[in-house]
Chains A and B, each alone.
Chain A
Amino acid sequence: MMTFLTPMPNKTLTRRSFAASVAAGFALVAVPRPAFALDDASARALIDRALADVNEIINSGRSEARMLADFEGVFTRYADVTTIARTTLGAAARQATAAQMSEYTRAFGIYISHKYGRRFREFIGAQIDITGSRPLKSFYEVRSVAHLQGTAPFELLWYVSGASGRDLFFNIVIEGVDLLNSERVEMGAMLDRRRGDINAFIADLRALG
């Protein structure tokens, strides 16, 4: 059980605390090989280790810019960015060239880690307990409960897969709301704005990072 996040004095799960939890969640899962050999105890141990990583960054006293860069590193170590990026692009991923996909994936990784990394400060002082894990479809679901002061505890789930060759997480679900779907809607809307022009869309995404 680790204590590191910071609660705003909120009474309910607001969008802000939602984003903050996603931010925390992104950095919380570290899963080693081999796929599906994970049991409840090893999943727990790994997440504790990832929590320690994040804890070190946010208590380092470094500048926000430096912390975002560090957080980006945590994200690329523990998340299957390639799969998240491809999934959130939807059908357009099949039309994009290999060069566009690699540009997009890089821009997306920076965008997502910065987006949620910025919310980190709000989480100092919170406590997240890993409560278990179970196999689900082709992957693993790791369950946890987040305790923020003055707020009813809420549930965080991480979806972890070994399909990329390494065990990495590809989705976080907070009280039923999942990051993959949310970012799929977001990327779809950004692409629509550019009437499907992938290069213009990538430039917009890079500007957000």
Chain B
Amino acid sequence: MPQLPRHFRLAVPLLAVSLLVSCAEQQVASGINDPYEQSNRQTHEFNLALSNAVAGMVDGDSDGGPVTKVAANFAANLGLPNKILNSLLQGRIEPAVMNTLRLVVNTTFGVGGLFDAAGTSFDLPEQYTDFGETLYVWGVGEGAYLELPVIGPSTERDAAGKVVDFFLDPLGTVLTEREHNAVRVLRGAGNAAGKLRYAGSVSDMLQGSADSYAQARLIYLQNRRFALGATSDDDVFDPYAE
């Protein structure tokens, strides 16, 4: 990535956000909004083939072993500053504090983040969040469903959030651009290592389905809305009320 002036680096995510806010429709979505289904299905075929190829390279049932685990831990630790910042942008202090403690513990006792000391010995599991959630808190609508190459199921809001998360990283303020890019590569590689561990079981589950695209879409949307707290009792289906 070329060297960008600092104020310009901030401008990219801000532009993405303003684009997104302008196309936001509703706050809480319940059904399935998939106008790009045709191209999404093509991406899905690609992702399935990729996932099968990966599962074929590693032993489908193994959990990856210690090396992938350490890589995943290291990547997750480098991702904490971004999560702390997102929690603060959402006005949520508690997860920000917990992730800060986690960062301190894993960076020290966890030997620079190689081991998850906070999770195993201090009962401080990672408080997951991302800029997609920040956008939700700010009132941005979910947008259309998207299946992204390699990454998998997403929505317009979550995809924009991923772009912003790439830039929105407090580590960037203490590292040179070159160091920061190295961190991005490590995070990407570590996350991929984390993904490898489950590639086998994910493709197992989807391959057993008559329509794995529709299953993946349903699971993603339901689970994401649950994680965001964007569900309502009114949407609960009651088969006896028909």
Contact = CB atoms under 8 A, between A and B. Distances in A.
Contact of A176 (B126, B214, B225): B225
Contacts of A175: 223, 226-227
Interface residues of A, number: 37
Interface stretch (A11-19, A37-45, A98-106): A11-19
A111 B194 CA distance: 32
Interface stretch (A59-67, A69-77, A182-190): A182-190
Contacts of A177: 218-219, 222-223, 226
Interface stretch (B13-21, B88-96, B168-176, B199-207): B199-207
A87 B238 CA distance: 10
A189 B226 CA distance: 25
Contacts of A11: 72, 194, 197
Interface string B34-56: 00000000000000000000000
Contact of B214 (A16, A180, A189): A189
Contact of B222 (A136, A171, A181): A181
B241 interface: yes
Nearest to A193: B210
Given A15-B201, A15-B202, A8 B240 contact: no
Contacts of A53: none
A19 B202 CA distance: 11
* Range, interface on chain B: 20 to 34
Contacts of B237: 171, 178, 180-181
A10 B237 CA distance: 31
A182 B215 contact: yes
B238 to A, nearest CB: 4
Contacts of A18: 205, 219
Contact of B210 (A15, A170, A190): A190
B37 to A, nearest CB: 14
Most chain B beta-carbon contacts within 10 A, residue among A10, A87, A186, A188:
A186
Contact of B206 (A15, A87, A181): A15
A15 B222 CA distance: 13
B240 A136 contact: no
B215 A139 contact: no
B211 A16 contact: no
Contact of A163 (B218, B226, B240): B240
B119 to A, nearest CB: 8
Contact of A19 (B63, B205, B218): B205
Interface string B67-106: 0000010000000000000000000000000000000000
Contacts of A87: 239
A199 B54 CA distance: 38
A115 B122 CA distance: 37
A15 B206 CA distance: 9
A181 B227 contact: no
B125 interface: yes
16 contacts: A15-B198, A83-B239, A86-B239, A138-B240, A159-B236, A161-B240, A176-B222, A176-B224, A177-B218, A180-B237, A180-B239, A181-B222, A185-B214, A185-B218, A189-B210, A192-B211
Interface of A: 8-12, 14-16, 18-19, 83, 86-87, 136-139, 152, 159, 161, 163, 170-171, 175-178, 180-182, 185-186, 188-190, 192-193
Closest 4 CB pairs of A and B: A176-B226, A189-B211, A16-B201, A189-B210
Given A152-B125, A176-B224, 12 more contacts: A8-B63, A10-B198, A15-B204, A15-B219, A18-B205, A83-B240, A137-B241, A138-B238, A185-B214, A185-B215, A189-B210, A190-B210
